Structure 1
Amino acid sequence: MKKSILLSFFCVAMLLLHAQQRPNVLILYADDLGYGDLSCYGAQHISTPRIDWLAENGLRFTNAHCTGSTCTPSRFSILSGRYAWRKKGTNILPGNANLTIPTDITTLPKVFQHAGYTTAVVGKWHLGLGDTFPIDWNKEVTPGPKEVGFDYSFIFPATADRTPTVFMENGTILGLDSLDPIQVNYKHAYPGELTGKNHPEMLKIKSSQGHDGHIVNGIGRIGFMEGGKRAEWTDEELGYTFNTKAIDFIDQSLQEKKPFFLYYAIHNIHVPRMPGTAFKGKSQLGYRGDAILEMNHSVGVILDALKDRGLLENTIIIFSSDNGPVLDDGYFDNSAETAAKLGYKPAGIYRGGKYSALEGGTRIPFIVYWPKHVKPNTVSNALFTQVDLMASFAKMLHEKLPLNEFTDSRDYFTTMIGKSDRDRNYIIEQPENMALCIVKDGWKYLTPANGPAILPGVNIESGISQEDQLYNLKNDPRELHNLARAYPQKVAELKKLLEKTKAEM
């Protein structure tokens, strides 16, 4: 009997020791940050020392990609391990959309849960909530992050430029007065609602296009909202609040003596760019540059918190972005003007940006930090995509993905930590117009589509053409020379592979 008890105690102790030795995992996921927006990626006129520190002490990728050139598709892919174009309703979502990630599939946070981790999402969500329409915001909204695999969530539902402009903690709106219930819609203003369109004199930052609905904090938003006045946040508090909640979760995981997986979806640098007052006017690049400085500060706050708690040496940190950059995305915030004046290129050498089929839309910063495992100050040119994080971490955790469940995620863990330079076999990219692109062995094929060469409003090259496009990215990274007519066999090969992948389910 005593031997049995001692054996059981020993097994439990070994399991606890194993759990404590497992690395924590932190994904810092920026919003609309371009390949050329960090000083460690060659940015001029802006300095990001805390993010640069991750690169100096870790691995910096030059050929990493998100799966879509807009936010919802990329976020769907990184959490679900599946290309977003496989599921309808995964393009840019309104703030009152229902949950897009199926609750009955394996997800990245569920992999960590199964491995004994405590999991959380803090920051921007933008993947929909609930399964009824319209959403009743005045009670717990479910399904949501919990059903996707997060033990804890502190989010805003969509983006800062969309209603509802409220915080939600574990599915419930924070600070909501039951006598002032919330309603949200995207079709018409409510009676007596003040909108940016009708009251431009109330705005402290003017709309350039589209953002002239509900006014919060002197800023017009997309969509309309009635009630919930006590629950509305101000833009300047977002960074501080999200940082605090992220650290609170880290402290909770310490109390529980469990490794943590934290997906911190930083709200910066998406519009409306209205950073904390301490950062206003501190860059040469208008509010967009100021938001980059605040984002860099947020990363530093989290790094300092990990160091103070003795966790930095046993934490894998990934820093990346959901899509390429945009300057004027709906507000006159002086970003386009200052960039033009200084010759600032937020996508670096690449053409295009957010919404675009060109490389500027999906080639993003990707940095991996893991002391004693990732060699400091190294660079990888390997082709890598965020959709593979689920299978790669499953490999690290010795968790097997279900054999009968389809996923696009593949194990490239050794590439991710710099132990291999193995390229992803191929990746598929999704621009806003859904005209898919495929990249393989340095070649990129863009399917024909109708549309403008320059995207109206945002002034970004779309990459849209009615003809097949083929580029050799190794020799022509700016995609200046269409080789489709010179290499018809390569076009046929990539087109066939694209169609084959689209048919897989």
Structure 2
Amino acid sequence: MLNIKFVLLSFLGLSTFTSAQEIIIGKEKPNIVLIYVDDLGYGDIGINGAIGVETPNTDKLAANGINFTDAHSAAATCTPSRYSLLTGQYAFRSKAQIIDGDASLIINPEVRTLPDMLKHAGYSTGVVGKWHLGLGNGNTNWNGRVHPGPKEVGFDYSFLIPSTGDRVPTVYLENQKVVGLSANDPIHVSYTERLDGYPIGTEHPELLKQHTDSQHLGSIINGISRIGYMKGGESALWVDEEIPFVLTNRANSFINTHAEKPFFLFFSLHDIHQPRIANIKFVEASSMGPRGDVIAQMDWCVGQVMGQLEKLGLTKDTMIIFTSDNGPILDDGYLDYAPELVGDHSPGGGFKGSKYSIYEAGTRMPTIVSWPKAINPGTSHALLSQVDLYASLAKLVGQKLEKKDAPDSEEHLNAWLGKTSEGRKVLLEEAYTFGLRMGDYKYIMPKKSNEVPEWLVNKFVDPGFSTLPLLFNLKNDRSEEHNIAAQHPKIVEQMQQQLNKILGTNESH
């Protein structure tokens, strides 16, 4: 007997899948590609008003999907956001913070992660790009298999930048082994004592492609002075200008290898994190200097992945989630004249704040979700957090979570798919203090001291520290300029109580 619904929808040229629930019932599991950009602000893509740089591939993704205006990373810095994304747990609960390049793995292998859950649902899982979640158990030996690492937390395949481009070691790891390493030239890494394997930034400024602050004056490799010291591994060193090509090729190779069954790819770009060293292909691709050029470079990477999916006939069966780990930063230690060249461009899209800041631009991320089989293009104003992707994707692929799994992740699948504009009622924002969103209201918890550390002052960042409670109505004050806490003491009290529940404390600072 013919399915009348199928015949009617086919006649109208519509998909037979009209809701996430029908897809689950039909065992229809999309490929999932999570494109995680680094330090990309809400306003840094064309669809959100970028000036001085074009992002045609990202804009095309938005035109075929949902562009979210109020979706957030879990924190305003990279390691905490990545930790929350993969574990479904707020970073502060495990004191996860920005870590050195030789730090131990900060995700407990006993914790069931997002890739663990997807593996259980039948997915092949891979991570390509920036990791910055630690590797090993301390005193890491870089000359063998480094473990625990991605494999121990759910990824079948990994090709990594171990931490960030501004930290040693400056080598790739494939399946937790350094790529191209010679046994006759072993790697040594230290963040506490000087190693004389490579020139040191404090002593040889004439070798630098970009001058830098005092934090980044360790080993010079490829003309870039890094945090930390490194010796050996010369045959394995990366070339910064080639990173986007190397990572994109590995991402597309993973897609090609796993095209026959559902896969999850966490494509974690290094762009647009400093040092911003654009390939010659993208130099002067923008009017904003290196920062704008690497935005164009990032967009090229997105287009290459989209093209690979199309080539393999996987576009309509693939959910692409495009977003960033934290807000924008113009000066994060390297002199590339981003503040001077930014022009009329607003990296935060008109919102106040930046990376490291509790103001909105610190966590309000450019976020696009595309899945042609199930999503109608449009714009969503749903309030969402990346910590919710875990529970939401579990719902999509029919996985029941145990109570200990993803404790802070809320299931909002219909919001991510654009079926509803209802998202979170309460959303935590984490930087070096805490903020809370309830509808249009934004609350920032007071601190005992509003003194800003010197390292933040040097980055020209306003972190949002205050000894008084701060309350803003974002509906008519998106730049968070007018503190209305004194006029609304009951709202302040209510929001502090909600924050206390999340933090598990009765403290107000």
Do they fold alike, i.e. is TM over 0.5?
A: yes
Q: Who is 1:423 aligned against? A: 423
Structure 2: gaps of 5 or more residues: 1-24
Please report how far the alpha carbon of residue 25 of structure 1 lies from its aligned counterpart in structure 2 after TM superposition: 0.4
CA distance in 1, matches of 2:406, 2:261: 30
**Alignment match of 2:136 (pick from 116, 122, 130):** 130
Query: What is the match of residue 398 of structure 1?
Result: 398
Q: Say if 1:161 and 1:222, in contact at 8 Å, map to a contact too.
A: yes
Cross-structure match for 2:314: 311
Task: Please show how residues 325-404 of structure 1 align to structure 2 within 5 Å.
Answer: 325-339=328-342, 342-376=343-377, 378-404=378-404
Whether the 8 Å contact between 1:120 and 1:153 is mirrored in structure 2 is yes
Cα deviation code 1:449-505 (max 9, x no counterpart)? 22446931211222111111111122211111111111111111111111111129x
Q: Do the aligned residues in 2 keep the contact of 1:162 with 1:222 (CA within 8 Å)?
A: yes
Q: Secondary structure in 1 aligned to 2:485?
A: coil
Match of 1:230 in 2: 235
Alignment of 1:5-404 (within 5 A): 21-88=28-95, 90-131=96-137, 133-191=138-196, 193-254=198-259, 257-339=260-342, 342-376=343-377, 378-404=378-404
Aligned partner of 1:441 in structure 2 is 439
Asked if the contact 1:19–1:116 (Cα under 8 Å) also holds between the matched residues in 2, the reply is no
1:183, CA displacement in angstroms?
1.0
Equivalent position SS for 1:82: coil
* Cα offset, 1:19, TM superposition: 10
Identity of aligned residues (%): 44
Give how far 1:20 is off: 9.2
Distance in structure 1 (CA, Å) of the matches to 2:480 and 2:133: 32
Q: Distance in 1 between matches of 2:194 and 2:452?
A: 34
Aligned counterparts of 2:27 and 2:490: Cα–Cα separation in 1? 53
8 Å CA contact retained: 1:20, 1:258: no
Structure 1 contact 39–46 (Cα < 8 Å) conserved: yes
User: Residues 192 and 65 of structure 1: is their aligned pair in 2 closer, same or farther, counting only changes over 3 Å?
Assistant: closer
- Give 2:344's aligned amino acid: G
Q: C-alpha displacement at 1:372, in angstroms?
A: 3.1
| 8 Å contact kept, 1:324–1:353 | yes
Between Structure 1 and Structure 2, how many residues are aligned? 478
Counterpart for residue 478 of structure 1: 479
| Residue deviations 1:375-403 (CA, integer Å, cap 9, x gap) | 12x11111011000000000011100013
* Deviation of the 1:323 alpha carbon: 0.4
Are the aligned partners of 1:325 and 1:360 in contact in 2 as well (CA < 8 Å)? yes
Residue aligning to 2:12? none
Query: What is the CA–CA distance in structure 1 between the aligned matches of 2:107 and 2:320, rounded to whole Å?
Result: 24
Q: Give the conservation status (yes or no) of the 8 Å contact 1:29–1:322.
A: yes
1:317 is paired with a residue whose SS is strand
Task: Calculate the TM-score normalised by the size of structure 2.
Answer: 0.92
Q: Distance in 2 between matches of 1:258 and 1:56?
A: 27
**Matched residue type, 1:247:** N
Amino acid at match of 2:321: I
Instruction: Evaluate the alpha carbon distance shift between residue 471 and residue 174 of structure 1 in structure 2; reply closer, same or farther with a 3 A threshold.
Output: same
Match of 2:215, SS state, is coil
**2:67 aligns to what SS in structure 1?**
strand
Contact residue 35 and residue 322 of structure 2 kept, 8 A: yes
Distance 2:161 2:30 in 1: 28
Q: Deviations over 1:79-123 (max 9, x none)?
A: 1111001102x1111101111111111211111100001000000
One-letter amino acid of the counterpart of residue 93, structure 2: R
Q: Which residue does the alignment assign to 2:3?
A: none
Structure 1 residue 315 displacement after superposition = 0.3
2: CA distance, partners of 1:93 / 1:461 = 22
Equivalence for 2:488:
487
- One-letter code aligned to 1:129: L
Q: Are the equivalent residues in 2 in contact too, given 1:384–1:423 (CA < 8 A)?
A: yes
Q: 1:315-345, CA deviations, whole angstroms, 9 ceiling, x for partnerless residues?
A: 0001000000001111111211101xx2221
**SS of 2:126's equivalent?**
strand
Cα pair 2:75 2:81 within 8 Å, conserved:
yes
Contact kept, 8 Å, 2:80 with 2:97, in 1: the verdict is: yes
* Contact 1:351–1:461 (Cα < 8 Å) also in 2: no
Residue 191 of structure 1 deviates from its aligned partner by: 3.4
- Deviation larger for 183-192 or 405-414: 183-192
| 1:497 and 2:492 correspond | no
| 405 and 379 in structure 1: CA distance in 2 versus 1, 3 angstrom threshold | closer
Q: Which residue matches 2:10?
A: none
2:99 and 2:133 in contact (8 A); partners too = yes
CA distance in 2, matches of 1:25, 1:144: 21
State the distance in 2 between where 1:472 and 1:282 align. Answer: 38
The 1:287/1:20 distance shift into structure 2, 3 A limit, reads farther
Q: Please give the secondary structure, in 1, of the residue aligned with 2:442.
A: strand
Q: Which runs of 5+ in 1 are unaligned?
A: 1-17
- Matched to 1:346, the amino acid is P
Contact kept? 2:88, 2:406, Cα under 8 Å:
no
Q: Is contact 2:74–2:387 with CA below 8 Å preserved after alignment?
A: yes
The letter of the residue matching 2:329 is V
Q: CA deviation at 1:405?
A: 4.1
8 Å CA contact retained: 1:64, 1:365: yes
